[in-house]
Amino acid sequence: MPDTGWLPGPILEEWEWQFADAGRDADPTLFFLADGERGCRRAAREVTAKAICRRRPVRRECATHALATREPHGGWGGMFGVRL
């Protein structure tokens, strides 16, 4: 089991931004790479996910969370292909 002690604790103020996000009902698979996904299919999915992120009021908080927790997967705050 990985060490998760460095992750932020379950304090409401630290996670409240997720509940304020009107786009949280989007299909979560848009934000994560599918097995074997490449080329046009991958590019189209990322374009769609980035468009959703641009409309989200908590885009900055989402990206900040991913950077703070060194999130290794997904397109947090519209950031794809960023090595954390």
Residue 29 maps to a domain: yes
pLDDT tens, 9-64?
666 666 777 776 756 788 888 888 888 999 999 999 999 999 988 888 888 888 88
Residue 3 has pLDDT above 70, yes or no: yes
Q: How far is CA 74 from CA 11, 12, 13, 39, in A?
A: 23, 23, 23, 17
Task: Please tell me the predicted confidence (pLDDT) of residue 58.
Answer: 87
Amino acid at site 69: T
Enter the pTM of the model. Answer: 0.70
Residue 70 maps to a domain: yes
Residue 5 maps to a domain: no
Domain residue limits at 60: 23-78
Residue 43 maps to a domain: yes
Domain count, the chain: 1
